Structures are given as C-alpha cells and as structure tokens.
Amino acid sequence: MPELHDVEHFRRLFQEHAAGKRLVGLTVVDPGLLRDVTAGELERALVGRTFATPARHGKWLIAPTEGGPVLLLHFGMTGELLWAPSDGAPERHDRVLFRFDHGVLRFRNVRRFGRVRLVRDEAELCAFLSAFGPDALGITRREFHARLFGRRGALKATLLDQEFLAGIGNVIADEALWQARLHPLVRVDALTGTERDRLFEALQRVLRQWVAHYGQDLSRWLTHVRGRPDATCPRCGRPIARVRVAGRTTYLCERCQSPPRALAA
C-alpha cells in the first residue's frame, strides 16, 4: 500500500526515465481512474510535451511538463509505477501507459483505487495541494508542534489525516507509534511535550530510513510482523496485538505502547 516512501521511490523512477523526455504516446487502458479529465483531454494535453523534474507531496506524484500542464498520480492501495525499456502492450492491471521513444512507464493499479489528475499550471497545482497539510518528510519540529496544537482526536487518526500531514499511511503510522512507544488511541491533547518530541523523532526516523533504504531488510521493525498471526514485538518479545483503529487494522505492542489512562481502567 503505497505511502510516502513508496511514492518517493516512484518519483525517482519517474525522474530517472521520464524527466527531460518527450511523451510520444499515451494509452488510457482504464478511464475509471481519471478524475476531472477525459482520456482524450489527457492525451491532447500531454502527448508531445516534455516532462520536467517531478515532485512529490504526501502520496501524490507531481509530474509537470515544461511550460505546460501538470500530471498528478495517486497510487491508492495497490498502485505502482514500472519502467520497461520497450514499447509493450498493456499488461494485467496496467491502467495508463506513458510511451517514450526509449520505453514505457506503466501506471499499474490492481484494485483501481489509484487516481490520475491533470492541472493546467502552477496556480492550479497550488490550489489542489492546499487541501493537504505539509509533506511529512522534512517538516520541522516547530511546525510539527504547531500542527498538533489544538487537536483532540485519537493520535493515529490524526497521523492518517492528510490535512494534518501529507504522506503518512497505515504502515508508517503504526511504525512511528511503536517506535515512539505511544498508543494509537491516546488523545492528541493528552500528549506531553516530551511525547510529542518523541513522536516527531520517530516519524522522521522512519520516513528518512525508509526513503533512504527502500526495500531494505525490515526485520527489526514493527512492520516486519504485519500479517503474521504469531507476531511478537521485535523489541520486547511480547505478542503483538491486532486491533482496529480509525477503521484500519492496527498492530501494536500493548506492553511497549501503554494504553491511555481512560482505556486502562
């Protein structure tokens, strides 16, 4: 399920293969993923254009063209971006193909939760991004504290809120909470300053390491135990609990992440 680090990986793939290259063809296999743009409009807007340096905001990949419109890709739960140095036919679950002289970028999406958007220019891009909080990677401690201020809900729900910070998904949230030894259900307004600092550090550590070492061995991380029925905490060895928080399956260590006072009773 693509989160910030996955999308950053896709951004680098786009940078490597598509930046500075002219799009020579576009195949929309599944128009169902397009939002506020038709397949024809997308093709007319992009084919013949040269892509500039891509950016990322949260889970959105931002692919501007030189002096032209901006392509936006969201990967949903099961999306990925693949490069093939040949002009192949669409493969299973390929939804959009971006064809270049030297190969093809495949926007693949099994469960079709991915989204493709197009904005006219920088101003429209800014308007679109204004619905999101700042990107979770590289946010300052000061800004993190400022955004937490005044919030009252469950901590994990807040972390997943893209208006709070952009880019955190279920897996990153669980990992950061586990590393910071904070319970997912603790109320934000019940957090001490020390705990907020700890969360900030843990979150930045997770994001930086997962971006820097994409696809690394995660055996010492909580993430490693996801989906395992006999999972134990990589830190203390106690069984890992599997609960539902904010509608999402949540993994936590009930020993390391002590429950909020209201729940302990």
Partner DNA sequence: CGGAGCGCCTGGAAGC
Partner DNA sequence: TGCTTCCAGGCGCTCC
248 is catalytic: yes
Return the number of the residue (125 or 160) whose C-beta is nearest DNA. 160
CA 159 to each of CA 89, 120, 184, 219: distance values in angstroms, whole numbers, following the listed order? 40, 31, 9, 24
Is the Cβ of residue 18 or residue 171 nearer to DNA in the bound state?
171
Residue carrying structure tokens 């669409």: 90
Report, in Å, the least distance between residue 126 CB and DNA: 16
Specify the residue, 3 or 175, whose C-beta has the smaller distance to DNA.
Answer: 3
Distance (Å, whole) CA 21 – CA 224? 38
Spatial neighbors of 57 by CB under 8 A, at least 6 apart, are: 129, 132, 135, 166, 167
Binding residues vs DNA (CB under 7 A)? 1, 3, 32, 58-59, 74, 76-78, 92-93, 110-113, 151-154, 157-158, 160, 162, 169-171, 187-188, 246-249
CB of 99 to DNA, least distance (A): 23
Minimum distance of DNA from residue 249's CB (angstroms): 3
Catalytic annotation, pick one of 248, 254, 259, 260: 248
Hey, how many other C-beta atoms are within 10 angstroms of the C-beta on 252? 24
Cβ distance to DNA smaller for residue 100 or 109: 109
Q: Which of 2, 54, 69, 234 is catalytic?
A: 2
* 206, 235 contact by CB (below 8 A): no
Min CB(236)–DNA separation in Å: 22
Residue 2 catalytic?
Answer: yes
From the candidates 11, 59, 115, 117, give the one annotated as an active-site residue: 59
CA distances, 117 to each of 41, 72, 74, 86 (Å): 11, 5, 8, 25
Phi-psi label, residue 92: left if phi above 0, alpha if psi -120 to 50, beta otherwise:
beta
Which residues have C-beta within 8 Å of that of residue 25, sequence separation ≥ 6?
Answer: 47, 97, 99
Instruction: Tell me the catalytic residues.
Output: 2-3, 59, 248
